[in-house]
Amino acid sequence: MSKLNYTLLGCVALITSCTQSPKLTNWISTVPTHHWVEKTTTDRDLSDCKDLAQITIDIDTQKQEQTVTGFGGCFNELGWEALQMLSPIEKNQVMNDLFSLSTGCKFTLFRMPIGANDYSVDWYSFDETPGDFDMEHFSIARDKQRLIPYIQEAQKINPTLQVWASPWCPPSWMKKNKHYACRANPKVNDLSPELSSTEELVSRFITEPQYFKAYALYFSKFVQAYRNEGITISAVHVQNEFNSAQNFPSCVWKPQDLGIFIADYLGPKFKEENLDTKIWLGTIERPQIERVDAVLEYPHVLDYVQGLGFQWAGKGAIKDAHAKYPNLQLMQTETECGDGSNDWAAAEHTFGLMKHYFENGANAYMYWNMILDETGKSQWGWKQNSMISVDSTSKKVTYNPEFFLMKHLSGFVYPGDVKLATTGDDQNALVFYNQKTNEVKVLAYNNDKSEKLLKLVINKKEIMAKLDAKSFNTLTIKL
């Protein structure tokens, strides 16, 4: 056994310096075999171990970056369907584990679709009457079956939660092909091949004034209808993945046309109706910043757009967007959903995404499906991960590794906390600070197969912790 390893075995889990040291008040660890373990701490001063740290991270609470606005997931119809398989007691437990601000994930920010998406039970919009430009047939009756009860149940646990919304597809009659899909696939849709296209940068929406005007009215009616149900829509992201022609509900937009819709129709409509719902350009799923520029450079778009939402390959554009548009809020809008593995490797991948987004200016981080059945399948055939799985046969509830990873941040890092710039061996760590409580929150991942000794140097004062092999750790330090 090496001298280093021998000495580490003699170190207890926590070491602090003697005088005026920061105090570790809470430490939660998750490893593949044991989730959410509260680590015990001690105030013993074992100075012999301080020079043996294998990971050293320097933290200065004056080096503050962006402010955190929240964490959350998406309300989807198939999530509600999975919940209905549980007994009332089990359902209540799952809901509290997600939404409780005391014992749960403490989520505060949530996404929902405007009409159908790939995790709806089937296709629908709020107005499928062709030519109904005055939206006389607009109705959210469908949402009263699943999405509205889902959100209202969450509101009982957290009445202050915020909901933002995005359409995957407008009413089908507003599209050139008159179909919810853009790309034909006989296995999952009935779009004829001659109306199918995968071309990007060409609008599938009918870009005529009466359609733009009707679609702005559609958004306005949606916001007001939900308000009447006691649900405030805090923001709309104008189109989910506006570059992607999918075999499920989707609509490709030429960036300049999206700018026209926002600046000349949607923004003025919200202003006319005195709606305080914010408008975001989202969700951006391509790395080309010039596609973002093409929307935002249209005259007066920036009079209305207050944020940018990124997902999937859009992560390649967030760094440039943060530099070019420093006054806009940034959000990771849909964590990459994997292939239904729900395993530790998926959590490792998601941690890498968290690190990338927060290091490049993101204010918020969103999971995708919070709850699904054991198949994880959309109605369009794609098996995806979820934080929680419900077995449709046994009714067993499984909390997947990504549930705990999300909670490692959302359970401790609150809206209003700020991200701190760090130096040293910080490639597997994220650090945040709450000025009111004078607390530093550190999410540190030990990706090694052996335990590692971590030294945090906070405002030139040291605190140390021995991290288990392959472990996510959240450490809360009172200064």
Q: pLDDT tens across 391-413, in order?
A: 999 999 999 999 999 999 999 99
How far is it, in rounded angstroms, from Cα 189 to Cα 180? Answer: 9
Structural domain of 7: 3-66+422-478
Query: Is residue 74 located within the same domain as residue 54?
Result: no
Query: Is residue 402 located within the same domain as residue 310?
Result: yes
Please state, rounded to an integer, the average pLDDT across all residues of the chain: 94
Q: Look at residue 40 in the predicted model and tell me its pLDDT.
A: 77
Q: For the chain, first and last CA: distance in Å?
A: 37
Q: Rounded mean pLDDT of 135-158? A: 98
Query: Is residue 79 located within the same domain as residue 129?
Result: yes
- In contact, 252 and 199? CB cutoff 8 Å: yes
pLDDT tens for residues 22-60? 999 999 999 999 999 999 764 444 455 667 889 999 999
How far is it, in rounded angstroms, from Cα 479 to Cα 468? Answer: 24
Which contacts qualify for 204-208: CB closer than 8 Å, 24 or more apart? 204/175, 204/176, 204/177, 204/245, 204/251, 204/252, 204/253, 205/170, 205/174, 205/175, 205/176, 205/251, 205/253, 205/257, 205/261, 206/174, 206/175, 206/176, 207/254, 207/257, 207/260
Peptide bond into 25 cis (omega under 30): no
Three-point CA angle 116, 142, 198, nearest 5°? 15
Answer with the one of 415, 437, 453 that is the final residue of a domain: 415
Query: Is residue 393 located within the same domain as residue 430?
Result: no
Q: How many domains does the chain have?
A: 2
pLDDT at 343 over 60: yes
CATH number at residue 433: 2.60.40.1180
331 token code pair: 């959000």
Query: Is residue 321 located within the same domain as residue 429?
Result: no
> Percentage of the chain surpassing pLDDT 90?
92
Answer with the one of 415, 441, 460 that is the final residue of a domain: 415
The side-by-side arrangement of strands in the sheet containing 452-458 is: 14-16, 461-467, 452-458, 55-67, 418-424, 429-434, 439-446, 471-478, 23-30, 37-38
Q: Look at residue 372 in the predicted model and tell me its pLDDT.
A: 98
Q: Rounded mean pLDDT of 457-467? A: 94
pLDDT at 387 over 90: yes
Query: Is residue 99 located within the same domain as residue 146?
Result: yes
How far is it, in rounded angstroms, from Cα 212 to Cα 261? Answer: 6
Q: Look at residue 21 in the predicted model and tell me its pLDDT.
A: 81
Percent helix, strand, coil in the chain (nearest 5)?
30, 25, 45
242 token code pair: 């506006």
Answer with the one of 400, 415, 430 that is the final residue of a domain: 415
Query: Is residue 60 located within the same domain as residue 79?
Result: no
Residue 152 CB neighbours (<10 A): 13
Residue with tokens 């390649």: 316
Query: Is residue 334 located within the same domain as residue 207?
Result: yes
